[in-house]
Amino acid sequence: MSVDILNANTDTDTETNEVSNIPEKYRSRTVINSKYIFEKKIGAGSFGSVYRGRNIISGDGVAIKFEATTAKLPTLLWESKILNHLAGTPGIVKLRYFGTESNKNIIVMDLFSHTLCEEIEKLKKGEEQDKPTEILNENKTSTESQEQINLEQDIPEKGTNSSSELDKTECDGSSTDNKNPDTTDAKGGDKFDNEKKIPPYTKEVTLYLISMLQIINRVHDAGIVHRDIKPENFMISLPNIEQNQKGDGGKMLHIIDFGLSRFYMKGDSHVINTYDRSIVGTIRYISTHIHDGDVYSRRDDIISIIYVSIYLLKGKLPWMGLYPKKGDTRTKEELVYHKKVNTTPDELCEGLPYLFHKLLDYAYSLEFEDKPDYSYMIRQCKSLLRVI
């Protein structure tokens, strides 16, 4: 009995100490891990809600995601495990905290300035842009007015492990069959495309494409496939003052949202393809392999990145906005799949440098267990940059 009383008193003392460490002005607010406060809701999804927050000790801006512990398919615990596995990897959002409080699973991560989708929209509107570079330091950004959050509220019911429903989110506004891609001419005809009218922001998108390929290379090297590549899951952070003083300025790209990610390696072996999987990810950007029921592998992340790049340049993909008409028994997923398989690379990449046609052909030439040649793809991008 005395031991139980001692433990109880110790717990009480710990809680008292934690509260005493919180500045007086925050003690009436919801404080996560005695360190993080909510400020403003910035998004929601099948996982739950995401808020802009602040570290009340350091002043850093943070992103806070939470979901009910009773969710049918909770993802935040899994996402925290993936982020811990990827900890320290350049270009990966940093996990600052995971825990369960008030019957909610909560993760706290870096907060970024805006999405890649929003960045390209700024380009299209002619706003001044800096050249994208690789991630160097974590982002520290200011936040807006404070807003008290009740953790007992604002939790949508989770009903699916697929983010296909997020497909509704939009921004405004010669091939090789050889598995050794280095045998192909690096220029690929882009010198001729330079004389044509291509999107004025092609250079910037190509630079971001290089960054996306570099980041996903690191993710894959860690044995993980992302499985939900889309422009909203690539985030931009601005350089801090110290970076600018060093002359390292430039926007930096990061990847987020690992709730659907999986390991493609089991020990020293690649997972097998069972050909019977349901669709996972955002249907606008998934490969036809995923529509066909294939298990997700590295090639599918690459294909999604290429689709994302084409979308950023053209502002649309041929299979966007498709819905069954009256009397049509096909689902939206079936309509999108039919359009994808019947759209040729020439049609998809019309008006763009040949690079995108070439990379798409290469990605679709990969077999299920093949390791993509990231260096080859990046060299092709750099070859284009030399002629535009």
Burial class (CB in 10 A: 0-12, 13-18, 19+), 373: middle
The answer to whether the CB of 282 falls within 8 A of the CB of 164 is: yes
**Rounded to whole angstroms, how far apart are CA atoms 307 and 236?**
19
Q: Is 328 a catalytic residue?
A: no
Token readout for 76 is: 């935040």
Extract the tokens encoding 227: 């499985």
Which single residue is written with the structure tokens 């909610």?
104
Q: Which of 60, 110, 167, 228 is catalytic?
A: 228
How crowded is residue 202: how many other Cβ atoms within 10 Å of its Cβ? 22
Angstrom distance (rounded) from CA 364 to CA 358: 10
Task: Map residue 141 onto helix, strand or coil.
Answer: coil
| Main-chain phi, psi angles of 38, to 5 degrees | -80, 145
CA distance 114 to 63: 12
DSSP for 357-375?
A: HHHHHHHHH--TTPPP-HH
Residue 289: name the closest of 199, 363, 195 by CA.
363
- Give 383's contacts (C-beta < 8 A, 6+ positions apart): 186, 187, 188, 190, 355
Q: Rounded CA gap, 154 and 160, in Å?
A: 18
Please answer whether residues 63 and 108 qualify as being in contact, where contact means their C-beta atoms are separated by less than 8 angstroms: yes
Is 145 within 8 Å of 221 (Cβ atoms)?
no
- Sign of the four-CA dihedral 65, 72, 80, 134: negative
Q: How many CB atoms lie within 10 A of CB 248?
A: 14
Backbone angles phi, psi at 272, to 5 degrees: -90, 155
What element of type H or E holds 132?
strand 132-133
DSSP 227: -
Looking at the annotation, which residues are catalytic? 228
